[in-house]
Amino acid sequence: MHRMILSVLFWTITCGAALAEKTAYQCVITGASGRQWIQPLIFIALDRASDRVVVSDAAILGYNDGVPVEGRLVRDNAARVTVAWELDMRSTSNQTVRMAYRATYLKANGKVNVSARPIGFEGQFSRAGTCKVTKLSG
């Protein structure tokens, strides 16, 4: 499964502007499991030339026909990169719920904070972890 996610993400970030800087974040989330709203392994691709963001994890691939989702760049400065995305999912009671996600990567220490909020419902879920960053050009 990890190879499939990496393959799709690599393909996604290598398409686009020829000379743009692209950054891939492979984030391991502490205390998360595959049965929770926040997945234990999240991949984020950022193309700074177009501010294009693509996000993938096991839940995204499962609920989105095996395709990563487009996200949006919220902030990119000297201290952090924040991205957001949404995903339609099903709860344990088989109810459709649209989740709004936000991930903030802290450049100084490599830590990431991820939150998930069900749109139209109470509550928010959050987890933290670390990311391995790979910069690609061309």
**Can you read off the two tokens belonging to residue 127?**
């987890």
Residue range 31-55, pLDDT digits in tens:
988 888 999 999 999 999 998 999 9
Question: In angstroms, how far is CA 10 from the centroid of its own chain?
Answer: 14
Question: In angstroms, how far is CA 70 from the centroid of its own chain?
Answer: 9
Whether 54 and 13 have beta carbons less than 8 Å apart is answered as: yes
The pLDDT value recorded for residue 117 is 96
The pLDDT value recorded for residue 83 is 98
Q: What is the pTM of this model?
A: 0.84
**Can you read off the two tokens belonging to residue 96?**
């459709």
The pLDDT value recorded for residue 72 is 97
Using only C-alpha atoms, the chain has a radius of gyration, in whole angstroms, of 14
Helix (H) or strand (E) run with residue 59 in it: helix 58-63
Half-sphere exposure of 102 (CA within 13 A, CB side): 12
Low-confidence ranges of the chain (pLDDT < 70): 1-20, 137-138
Whether 41 and 130 have beta carbons less than 8 Å apart is answered as: no
The pLDDT value recorded for residue 17 is 45
The pLDDT value recorded for residue 88 is 93
The pLDDT value recorded for residue 20 is 63
**Can you read off the two tokens belonging to residue 83?**
């991205």
Give the 3-state secondary structure of residue 135: strand
